[in-house]
Structure 1
Amino acid sequence: MHFPREKRVMWLSQVRSIPFRQRVELTSKAGFGWLSTSPVDFDQTVASGLSAADQRRIAADNGVRLSYLDPLTSWVPDWRPVNEDADILPYLDRSPDAFFRVAESLEVDKIHLIGTFPADRYGMGELIDHFGAICDRAAKAGMGCTIEAMPLWGLRTFEEAWRIVKGAGRANSGIVFDTWHYVRGGRNDALFAEIPVGVIDTVQIADGALVCPPDRTMARDCLFNRVPIGEGEIPNREILALLAKHDHIPSVGPEIFSSALDALPGEQIMARILPGFEEVVAAV
């Protein structure tokens, strides 16, 4: 399957160690029209001397759109995960007001939510109400609102994310589907035939072990130990074929969080992640 640049998303994960300008240039050169970002990265980029206006200009000059400001965790009041590593918490800690200030400064078209709250802290009705409220706030700012299930914390499965989006019924909402999280959280392939086309907003492709190694938490495994597509055990071709069968791949991109990639220069990172990504999407 061919995905033109307007349907290719470069997720911040694999380019987080690269300075902003080079990151945008590499994204454009690789044929991606969209680049995700985060509040923490925005702060670091501003501290390096590039204002929000500078960041928007650099992206526009390279034909790249900043999108998917990620992650918003405080869409529920009690968002703080239990016993999370201290170095991970700053990445998650941002109030809705502070998050929306960054979103509006960068003029992103979409914000992205994850559920880091403790397991069983909220009932489904509460989650639907909280999600709907953030969708409404995003809509007033002209933004879409996506949500992603991660088996690391409280919102664990694709099915739960679908129940929230379905229950909220907001036109500006959708699901970010991650193959790594889908496998780790427990597959439910029957849902692909149930959910309407358009509910899945975009698809992230990642790779790694099928089961979390016993010497690390799942959060650390997710954020530092993924591998280039094709070098792990995630059955990406099989999952993507099922998604494509039901027309659930409106756009696609790699999402490889990796300490090993962080240590490489930008061109070498691209050389590591692009071949496996291009091969698997071409095979869909």
Structure 2
Amino acid sequence: MMSVPVLDRLRPAREAGFAGVSLMGADYQQMVASGVSAEDLRERAADEGLVVTEVEGIYLGLPGREPGPTMPASLAQLLKGMDAPRYLAVAVAAGASSITVIDMFDGAVDIDQAAEAFADICDRARDLGLTVQLEYVVGGGIATYADTCEVIRRAGRGNGGLMIDSWHLFRGNVTLDELARTPGDRVFGVQINDGPPPTDADPLREMTKGRLMPGEGIFDLVGMIRTLDAIGSKAPISIEVFSDTLSALPADEAARRCAETTRATLHKARG
């Protein structure tokens, strides 16, 4: 539903039975261009009985990081502008309780430097009453899921944890056994989506435009959810499907399909 302005997603989300919506950098930039503030979003969401759950895509902030040659210039510019100080303030104004931090640029980062940067964001967020999720992104600067977990461990901040996105988990060839070794109390958020067999010559295009609805692809989402339950994760489960097909649907139909496929997957995993 990224093609739909965030304010226009609120009523379809509520009617589909969702409890909240997230805010991405592109959403916020579009809001600002339209004269809509983060406070306006919070109020409009509350009018629909919703909350803004998180602000997503905040840049980890390591110096000297550059996008790879296949990254569209518009995406690179957006990511570089997602600095923590600015978007922490946006999160507070929108009434969000958390932010999600990523590094999608080329080249491996130093784990200690990444941990220091993550700890700094966590400290800033703690003073504002926010939690912080670090998301493993396949092809990003933190090379593996294990390294992502290690960054969080070395940072050692109580308000710092992990965002698990099924796309990156399965495209990154993370096994359920590896997931089972994750401390459940460090999983702060879960995003589910599905994917086709990885035949696309452009993984970034596939990641940003070719995701599938839960249950429509090859990911073992049921196994993932059961593993998360087994390690004691209490993290909220949301849906994140970047898809040209989904974006072409009317907002109410897209929201309904997201809700139905998510509920069906959760029911299959949990009965």
By the TM > 0.5 criterion, same fold?
Answer: yes
Q: Distance in 1 between matches of 2:104 and 2:136?
A: 10
Q: Percent identity?
A: 27
User: Aligned partners of 2:45, 2:85: CA distance in 1, in Å?
Assistant: 24
| Aligned position for 2:262 | 277
Cross-structure match for 2:191: 204
Q: TM-score, normalised by structure 1?
A: 0.87
Residue 182 of structure 1 pairs with residue 169 of structure 2: yes
Measure how far apart 1:242 and its partner are: 1.9
Q: How does the TM-score come out when normalised to structure 2?
A: 0.91
1:247 paired with 2:232, answer yes
Consecutive unaligned residues in structure 1, runs of 5 or more: 1-14
- SS in structure 2 opposite 1:283? helix
Alignment partners' CA distance in 2, 1:195 and 1:169: 15
- For residues 86-125 of structure 1, the aligned pairs below 5 Å read 86-94=73-81, 95-120=83-108, 122-125=109-112
Letter paired with 2:26: V
Please tell me the residue identity of whatever aligns with 1:243.
L
Q: What is the RMSD computed on CA atoms of the aligned residues? A: 1.9
Contact 2:55 2:100 in 1 (8 A): yes
1:4 maps to: none
Counterpart of 1:235 in structure 2: which amino acid?
A: D
State the 4+ residue runs in structure 1 displaced beyond 4 angstroms.
none
Distance 1:20 1:82 in 2: 29
* Contact kept in structure 2, 1:78 and 1:117, CA below 8 Å: no
**Which segment is superposed worse, 173-182 or 110-119?**
110-119
Structure 2's unaligned 5+ residue stretches are none
User: Are the structure 2 counterparts of residues 201 and 157 from structure 1 closer, same or farther at C-alpha, using a change threshold of 3 Å?
Assistant: same
Q: Report how many residues are paired.
A: 267
Q: Is the 8 A contact 1:225 1:259 kept in 2?
A: yes
Amino acid at match of 2:73: A
Distance in 2 between residues matched to 1:243 and 1:278, nearest whole Å: 16
Higher RCO (CA 8 Å, separation ≥ 6 residues): 1
| Aligned counterpart for 2:17 among listed residues 25, 28, 31 | 31
1:210–1:199: structure 2 CA closer, same or farther, 3 Å change rule? farther
Partner of 1:275: helix, strand, or coil? helix
